């Protein structure tokens, strides 16, 4: 699905150039649940942004489904993001003034033709993350974990092949983290390709593959034949105290 070859990225700030990625070769097959780990400044977020077509590499080649994407125009990249990808961010990035359902429907604003069943698909996506009872709540009325689940629903609603999650549990408590990871594991089980950036090794233990990045290069790339089940971890937590 994703084939990176010799990907480099250098940020230019005035006279100072900062190399971030020094040649990354990486193949990710469909259905894999890959964690990209590394210390701060290792370039893991930059790598995810390049894979998610949010940023362009300075050099190298990126084949997405066998097609080179480095030569595509800005508009073509927008269309690919809209059709094939979904994003989950650490800070949720929901529209504060819009309801959960409106937030989830945002990708359809920029879809080619507007699907006639958009509302229905938005409801289904929210139901898939267990928020069918929160359709008309605004982000301010939701907990952090619920916000992140709305964000996942927004990433799901167009039924993309690829889900990118940048520190999705970074702002969440333990319980919400397990909930989010359980949803992502479920998506992976359905055949979606999930790429997750994290610095939390506990989170990476729930992924089927862990790519470790240090100073812009891949240091290790390990398969994890028996990832921890987030759902099982969630079940093992002591019962919630005062959740209405």
Partner 1 sequence: MSRFSRLLREAARFLWSSRAYTLLMMIGLIIGIASVTVIYELGAGVRERVVSIMSGMGFGADAFFVSSGGGRLGVRRPGGGSRTLTPDDAAVLARVDNVAMVVPHLTLRRDRVSHRDLHTSTVIFGVTPDYGAARRWDVSMGRFIDQQDESQRRRVTVLGSATAEELFPGQSPLGQQIQVGSVPFTVVGVLEPRGGVGGPGRSRDDLALVPLSVAMRRLAKEDKLSSIRINVERADNFQDTVEEVRQILRTRHKLAAGVPDDFTIVTPDAVVELITRQSRAMVVMLTFISAVSLFVSGIVIMNIMLVAVSERTHEIGVRRAVGARRADILTQVLMESVMVSVLGGALGFGLGALLSWLLEWGFDLPTAFSLQGSVLAFAFSAGVGLLFGLFPARKAAALTPVESLR
Q: Nearest approach, Cβ of 46 to partner 1 (angstroms)?
A: 8
Per the CB < 8 A criterion, the answer to whether 44 and 197 are in contact is: yes
Interface of this chain with partner 1, residues 135 to 154, rule: CB under 8 A: 154
Interface of this chain with partner 1, residues 39 to 68, rule: CB under 8 A: 49, 52, 54-55
Site string for partner 1, 153-172 (x = CB under 8 A): -x------------------
Q: Which residue, 48 or 207, is less far from partner 1 as judged by CB? A: 48
Does the protein bind partner 1 through residue 79 (CB under 8 A)? Answer: yes
Of the candidates 177, 96, 175, the residue with the CA atom closest to the CA atom of residue 142:
96
Q: Which residue, 71 or 75, is less far from partner 1 as judged by CB? A: 75
Q: Nearest approach, Cβ of 106 to partner 1 (angstroms)?
A: 6
Q: Which stretch binds partner 1 (CB under 8 A): 23-31, 75-83, 173-181, 224-232?
A: 75-83
b/e per residue 140-158 (b: at least 16 CB within 10 A): eebeebbbbbbbbbbbbbb
Does the protein bind partner 1 through residue 127 (CB under 8 A)? Answer: no
Q: Nearest approach, Cβ of 75 to partner 1 (angstroms)?
A: 5
Q: Distance from CA of residue 44 to its chain's centroid?
A: 13
Does the protein bind partner 1 through residue 114 (CB under 8 A)? Answer: yes
Of 29, 109, 232, 235, the residue at the interface with partner 1 (CB under 8 A) is 109
Of the candidates 234, 235, 228, the residue with the CA atom closest to the CA atom of residue 201:
228
Q: Distance from CA of residue 5 to its chain's centroid?
A: 21
Cα-Cα-Cα-Cα torsion 183, 186, 187, 191, nearest 10 degrees, comes to 170
Q: Distance from CA of residue 206 to its chain's centroid?
A: 15
How far, in Å, CA of 237 to CA of 219, rounded? 34
Q: Which residue, 47 or 172, is less far from partner 1 as judged by CB? A: 47
Q: Nearest approach, Cβ of 152 to partner 1 (angstroms)?
A: 13
Tokens for 76? 């073509």
How far, in Å, CA of 141 to CA of 227, rounded? 34
Q: Which residues bind partner 1 (CB under 8 A)?
A: 49, 52, 54-55, 74-75, 78-79, 81-83, 86-87, 89, 91, 93, 95, 97-98, 106-111, 114, 154
């Amino acid at each position: 699905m994703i084939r990176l070859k010799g990907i480099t990225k250098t940020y230019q700030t005035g006279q100072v150039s900062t190399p971030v990625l020094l040649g990354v070769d990486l193949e990710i097959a469909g259905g894999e649940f890959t964690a990209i780990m590394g210390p701060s400044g290792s370039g893991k977020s930059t790598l995810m942004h390049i894979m998610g077509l949010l940023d362009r590499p300075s050099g190298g080649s990126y084949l997405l489904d066998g097609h080179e994407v480095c030569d595509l125009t800005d508009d073509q990249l927008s269309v690919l993001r809209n059709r094939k990808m979904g994003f989950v961010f650490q800070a949720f990035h929901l529209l504060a003034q819009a309801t959960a359902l409106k937030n989830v429907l945002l990708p359809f604003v920029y879809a080619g033709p507007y699907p006639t069943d958009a509302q229905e698909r938005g409801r289904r996506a929210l139901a898939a993350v267990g928020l069918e009872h929160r359709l008309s709540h605004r982000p301010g009325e939701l907990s952090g974990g619920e916000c992140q689940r709305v964000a996942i629903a927004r990433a799901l609603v167009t039924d993309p092949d690829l889900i990118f999650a940048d520190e999705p549990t970074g702002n969440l408590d333990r319980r919400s983290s397990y909930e989010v990871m359980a949803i992502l594991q479920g998506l992976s089980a359905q055949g979606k390709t999930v790429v997750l950036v994290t610095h939390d090794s506990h989170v990476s233990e729930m992924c089927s593959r862990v790519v470790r990045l240090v100073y812009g290069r891949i240091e290790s790339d390990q398969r994890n034949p028996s990832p921890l089940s987030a759902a099982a971890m969630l079940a093992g937590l002591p019962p919630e105290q005062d959740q209405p």
